[in-house]
Structure 1
Amino acid sequence: MAASPFLGLAGAVAADGVDEGVPAHYGNPLVEQRRLEAGDAVVDLSNRGVVTVTGPDRLSWLHSMASQALDRLAPGEGVETLLLDANGRIEHAAHVVDDGETTWLVAEGSEASGLAAFLDRMRFMLRVEVADRSADFGVLAAATADALDRATGSDASLSAAPDWVDPWADPRGHRYAAEHPDWRWVERIVPLDRLGEAARAVASGRVHAAGSLAAEALRIAAWRPRFATEVDERSIPHELDWLQSAVDLGKGCYRGQETVAKVLNLGRPPRRLVLLHLDGSDTVLPVAGEPVVALKVRPEPEPGAEPERRTVGAITSSAMHHELGPIALAVIKRAVPAGIPLIVESHGIDVAAGQQEVVPADAGPEVDIPRLPRLGVRH
């Protein structure tokens, strides 16, 4: 893949890790956050993967495998879906939009080829064609379509498909959290060979550019899970409050559906997503994978005894937010009490962390199972 033209803009600093290939920032990530939040900036996501599915059976076929209802997806309607394994664990996540002839799926760049290969294996005799188009198309994102219009102009050739509007802000499924922060996000699929025109729109002052650091900070503050960061080999949708935007609970007969229904109706998520407000006095920002620990104090501790440390989870993503300061998302054990102080072990330093629940510690079954009366002893 050729270098993104956004990396040639003034002040651009390349990102690494999961966002390698696009700018991390242009000199001032906090200012970029404010511009992005206000709808005055666009983000280069040209490193994302794009998979297309064509053919008359495409929507009913995708519907049969996906966690989301796709069989009646209207042209221009954007949804989010997951592909699960037989045990309900998340294997793929995609942003989906259909234009009437082609279904477009946007995934993490590192996942696109695997997603396309999986779908291709599942075609059987149906009239569908799957293609990994990541070498031809990328993504621009913003808080508003207006910002994207200023970057791409009125030229329809700079938009390959209808815009995808993130349903996280207007969920249709089950939500564990009582209330979510505000979140606006629009993605536009653009031909990579025309991405330079959007970069020139930024250079001319028609719109500002924000880097991946700004986008991540706003995403984390909105509790919005991302496949590349919050998902591991054990993740099920419930743990990340992902039922609300990516799972249609009215459909069945897809792989993993039994686990989705059982945990929602009869069980509890084994782990849960939390937002951590971090102590910034040591100017240490934890990174993904660093342990989150809780201190257990014995009822009658011995004099001078240190509280017992127990690892209860791990950081999944972190950022410096322009209003909240240092924050992070973490996945922790369900049984960790909501009010208990936590510590993140980062760079040899203990970083104090206050947790804000996303999936509540007391999230329980949705089905109220009546208790059977105990049978008395017969005489």
Structure 2
Amino acid sequence: MILSKASASGTGETYTRRYPRSVLKSAEYELVRESVGLADRSARGKLRLLGAEAAEFLEGQVTNDVEALEPGTGCYAALLNHKGKVRADMRVLRGPDWIWLDTEPEMQAVVESTVRTYGIGRDVREEDVTESHAILSLLGPESRSALEVAPAPEEHSFVRAEHGLYVATDLGVDVICATADADAVRLALGVEPVSEEAAECLRVESGRPRLGVDFGGDTIPEEAGLNERAVSFTKGCYVGQETVARLHYKGRPNRHLRGLRLSDPVPTGTELYLGDRAVGTVGSVMVSPVHGPIALALVRREAGPGDELVARDPRVRATVVELPFAA
């Protein structure tokens, strides 16, 4: 469970949902660190693009090079506004005659609207496959050995196999299957289930930010550390490209995604101070069995690794560290 700041009754009162350390010291965390566990990520929004111009269309909309993908490969990409700020992020998989997109549930409507608005007159159409397809995530070092055939190790590479698509991820392998078959697939895989909390802890430890929690619609990709994973600087034009390229080649971002080692957990959204100056806000917060209380945060560039920041409400110390968190 990500610790969050929330309204109790619409009055503005906030509270901290403290996550019990005992849960993340349990067998499920050990599974994803030492072996393999299965997390259900079926809540993600899922779209399939069809049509002869689907790849060409998407190429002009997102930050990564979709047209360069061979069938059986994929990438991570972002959809920007004209000012270069992130509207949505997504995983892109290229099949023989289709393109698969999955995104945060809240961002699906943004992606759908983009296709419908800017795809007019093009041979591209979208299908909402959120309800008809499930995503079962195998997490841990033994993820690949749990399958009868594994995809290439490169992230986003995939193969079609007995239970659906097997997609390589940074933390294991995703199995994309029909929702109607999901229970049978779980049974056939024979992998112990793990909670969302265990999966989220791995994500935070690895320094992967989540749109809507760690960064939002006021963020340029480089600020959130997305350039290496999500941006191609050799592809053709796309919406927001000028800002992204100018910052990359001629400027430097005002903010950076950093890790925080906390003296105690704080709610997501808590403001951080360096001296008397507010320099950022806390994103995802977890209590890691390995690292203790940790967080991701967008902080101003003057707050660098080794600096000690302070949260005032509640009063907590936060030491800035590079990502990912060192073991």
Shared fold by TM > 0.5? yes
Question: Is it true that 1:165 corresponds to 2:164 in the alignment?
Answer: no
For 2:263 and 2:125, the matched residues in 1 are separated by 51
Give the RMSD, CA atoms, in angstroms.
2.6
Partner SS for 1:228: coil
* Per-residue deviation, 1:15: 9.2
1:68-83 alignment to 2 at 5 Å?
68-83=64-79
Q: How many aligned positions are there?
A: 295
Deviations 1:179-202 (A, max 9, x none): xxxx53432222122222244457
Question: Is it true that 1:120 corresponds to 2:123 in the alignment?
Answer: no
Structure 1 pair 165–102 and aligned structure 2 pair: CA distance change class (3 A):
same
Partner SS for 2:63: coil
Q: Percent identity?
A: 25
Partners of 1:141 and 1:148 within 8 A in 2: no
Question: Is it true that 1:224 corresponds to 2:194 in the alignment?
Answer: no
Q: Name 2:15's counterpart in structure 1.
A: none
From 41, 45, 52, give the equivalent of 2:41: 45
Q: Name 2:144's counterpart in structure 1.
A: 145
Amino acid at match of 1:294: L
More moved, 129-138 vs 258-267:
129-138
TM-score, normalization by structure 2: 0.82
For 1:111 and 1:344, the matched residues in 2 are separated by 30
1:281-296 alignment to 2 at 5 Å?
285-295=265-275
Partners of 2:215 and 2:298 within 8 A in 1: no
Structure 1 pair 51–39 and aligned structure 2 pair: CA distance change class (3 A):
farther
For 1:230 and 1:343, the matched residues in 2 are separated by 18
Q: Name 1:318's counterpart in structure 2.
A: 285
Amino acid at match of 1:260: V
For 1:272 and 1:92, the matched residues in 2 are separated by 19
Gaps in structure 1 of 5+ consecutive residues: 1-13, 18-23, 167-182, 296-308, 360-379
Structure 1 pair 147–314 and aligned structure 2 pair: CA distance change class (3 A):
farther
Structure number with bigger Rg:
1
For 2:178 and 2:250, the matched residues in 1 are separated by 46
Structure 1 pair 235–149 and aligned structure 2 pair: CA distance change class (3 A):
farther
* Per-residue deviation, 1:37: 2.7
Partners of 1:83 and 1:93 within 8 A in 2: yes
Q: Name 1:249's counterpart in structure 2.
A: 233
Partners of 1:55 and 1:128 within 8 A in 2: yes
Partners of 2:3 and 2:284 within 8 A in 1: no
Partners of 1:148 and 1:188 within 8 A in 2: no
Amino acid at match of 1:226: R
Q: Name 1:331's counterpart in structure 2.
A: 298
For 1:338 and 1:104, the matched residues in 2 are separated by 38
Q: Name 2:260's counterpart in structure 1.
A: 276
Amino acid at match of 2:209: P
Q: Name 1:352's counterpart in structure 2.
A: 317
Deviations 1:249-277 (A, max 9, x none): 11131111111111111111111111001
Structure 1 pair 158–109 and aligned structure 2 pair: CA distance change class (3 A):
farther
Gaps in structure 2 of 5+ consecutive residues: 5-18, 150-159
* Per-residue deviation, 1:339: 3.1
Partner SS for 1:264: helix
For 1:320 and 1:163, the matched residues in 2 are separated by 30
For 1:185 and 1:226, the matched residues in 2 are separated by 18
Deviations 1:136-161 (A, max 9, x none): 112111233344669xxxx94631xx
Partners of 2:262 and 2:318 within 8 A in 1: yes
